[in-house]
Structure 1
Amino acid sequence: MGKSKTVLLLVGLFTVIALAGVSCSRGLQTTDNAVDNTLDNTVADNAVVDNTAVINPTNQTTTTVSSSGLPDPASVKASLATETSGAETAVKTLQADAVLQLVSIKFINSLSDQTGLSTNYYIYASASNPNFYYLVNMPRNGEKLKRFLMPVEDLDLPFDLLQIPVKYWKLSYAEALQSVEQRGGSDFRAKHKTFEVSAILAIPAGQYLSWFVTYRATDGTGDVLKASVDANSGAVSLI
């Protein structure tokens, strides 16, 4: 499968996961009436498996890059390592053999973790319970993390996702977005006052571990910018 088609399919995960979350929530106990903005549309809070205090060192000093709100990659390295570890700890209390298969981040109108971050999902699969995906949303503003169960058939991907190989995960989302910003992302934001940016880390079978990045205007123009960034080498390809 070509990289361009793979990017389109991965971007489509936003809508698919959102709708699937609403669907699977019907079988779980309702907790409250609040609505959680998820990957593209919404997932009701009654889909939440549990609420756990987020491991989030908000007192860590960060610096930003230009006016985008994007943090300097070096300044968030330690907190991202803690975040990833916290997500794994949280999911393994539900499913001990869960392995990370996808990371999905979405920003709205800013690349700032404090003002723009909408969702930050770590998505896991389990060999012993292959009927479900395990989602952990990790906020970066001091809010609690949330965990979700999703039936595998609700994602029905036309390709296989592999376990994310940590040894090849060398670039953070901040480094990936910084690269795309320099190759058209900054100009895209300058042209559109309202926009969404998604960054998906995945390794579709037969391909390299990459960040699949999409800038999408929400001002009615329909403009889109797509790119992939190799999570190991940093090579950037505009789609």
Structure 2
Amino acid sequence: MSPRKDERSRLITLHPEINIGRLAAEYPLATKVFARHGIDFCCGGGRPLREVCREQDLNADEILEEIGRETAQKTASAERWDHAPLGDLIIHILAAYHRPLDEELPRLEALSRRVLEVHRDKQPEMLSELVSVYAGLKADLEDHMGKEEEILFPMIRQGQGMMADGPIAMMEEEHELAGAALKRLRELTNGYQVPEEACNSWRALWQGLAWLEESLHQHIHLENNILFPRALEE
């Protein structure tokens, strides 16, 4: 299904001073453009597009035009969550992000340790640090998701979001830490460029970490830019 004409024109007239998080919330396919250009739309969602583009030597107007082209080609799979019931959004976060991580986090840890064991002689410092950074990220994410599922999400579902400013602030701080770990993993892997000497396990690890980065960016965006602000208001 193609977007209505008024939706396209509303996007084109958006000003570059609009916050990245708002753009990502109202136009989900904008996240593809942000990821393409290395623009942080999850933890950095509260910053104006123009400011971020200036820092990264990007043209804000060109970025908006690119978002417009993506939006004009969108399909029904580009789902918006900024007006969905909060309970439905929580169900989506659990199904699309939390439950897959239950399986993927241990798998990637096992892969990372296997690659280090077999290829330690090739890139010992990089692989050792990667295992360490990933193990810390995994432990933090598992603890983080547990607190969301046991404390924060039930509060929001019960209509107590306005009283959850403390837990939400803690979750946002932990999102920042996860973002820093993802950034370090990207640096260590040279943007997940597979080395020539890589075996199948090494390739699978790089692919899995790239998926993790993309998934967590979307995951954190939905919480920081949509779920948490709406919960605090309602």
TM more than 0.5: no
Q: Which has the larger radius of gyration?
A: 2
Q: Which is bigger in relative contact order (C-alpha 8 A, separation at least 6)?
A: 2
Normalising by the smaller structure, the TM-score range is: under 0.3
Q: From the two aligned structures, give the one with the greater strand fraction.
A: 1
TM-score with structure 2 length normalisation? 0.27
